Structure 1
Amino acid sequence: MAHAAEPAGEPVLIALTTPARRSIVDGLLRPPNPSNSAPILDADAPDQHIADFLAGIVHADTGFIARTSSGERALAIVAATAAALCGEDIHTALTTPDIAFLNSLKPPAIEALRTVLLAIETDNVDELTCGLNPLAHS
């Protein structure tokens, strides 16, 4: 018995990647969690310690969590993480974050940054929110 050929269905498009964040800072801040499994960076540590840590962690599969109560330091950590990922000067990014560069990052670059910088933990969310405000609309 011969069967009639069925018409081919229309292709269905599905997303194979996670949706892009609208901003570098979406979901970045959170209260301290003592049961973290990712490495923790004291964002108030000396710049050389942070630079050494970032130079290594960008090549790891774990990502990291930063802890600080300073909005200025939180912004510096975001900038330094981006610099480490791009092979730029981490020390300069820590002392002089390039806001224009950070705000120009495309969604794939933001995702890459947030894959490394998982969160910034703080007891002072208001201070950090103000410190990160220049990035809120990136």
Structure 2
Amino acid sequence: MPHDSSPADPVPLTLSMPPRPARGLVDDLVRPISPNPEAEILDLAVSDTEIGVFLVRIAHGDKGFVARTDSGARALAIVAATTAALMGDDIPTALANPDLDFLRGLKPPAVEALREVLLAIETADRAAVETALSVLAA
């Protein structure tokens, strides 16, 4: 039996990076207060009206923001209100009554859009804020 010593035909391969896993709605969202934040700060102790004005301005800009609060309820409200601002929905209603089922049902592109605007929630009470936001974890 003759032995074929010719090289085999090349096998085409596609080399690419595997897709990045989708970031969850609250994955790594909460962090300690930074002395040098990388973005504009929104103190969630301000009035709902001031938050609404801020969100209308920043939601369609090219930079995100960092929210600051020690209140779990206020942290949940800013996630809902930022989502509402991005969608052109009612920000005051989202602040007052976050729709948890709607937020949990956001698709990965919507979550990414939200996380590009709401960069982080900084807090001195990380446990309280993370506990409140845990209702949004998938």
Q: TM-score, normalised by structure 1?
A: 0.88
- Structure 1 stretches of 4+ moved >4 Å: none
| 1:57-76 matched pairs, under 5 angstroms | 57-76=58-77
- Partner of residue 40, structure 1: 41
Give the corresponding residue for 1:19: 21
**AA aligned opposite 1:97:** P
2:109 aligned with 1:108, yes or no?
A: yes
Q: Partner amino acid for 1:27?
A: D
Following the alignment from structure 2 to structure 1, what is the Cα–Cα distance between the partners of residues 94 and 51? 11
Provide, for residues 57-94 of structure 1, a one-character-per-residue CA deviation record: whole Å limited to 9, x for no partner. 01111100000000000000000000000110000000
Q: Which entry has the higher C-alpha Rg, 1 or 2?
A: 2
1:102 maps to amino acid: L
- Give the aligned partner of residue 94 of structure 2: 93
2:128 matched to which residue of 1?
Answer: 127
Give the paired residue count: 132
Shift of the alpha carbon at 1:24?
A: 0.7
Unaligned regions of 5+ residues in structure 1, if any? 1-5
User: Once the two structures are aligned, what percentage of the paired residues are identical?
Assistant: 53
Once residues 14 and 52 of structure 1 are traced to their aligned partners in structure 2, the CA distance between those partners, rounded to angstroms, is 40
SS in 2 for 1:84: helix
| 2:12 match | 9
1:86-136 Cα deviation digits (max 9, x unpaired): 110000000000001100001111111000000000000111012112102
Q: Name 1:54's counterpart in structure 2.
A: 55
Q: How far does residue 40 in structure 1 lie from its aligned partner after superposition?
A: 0.2
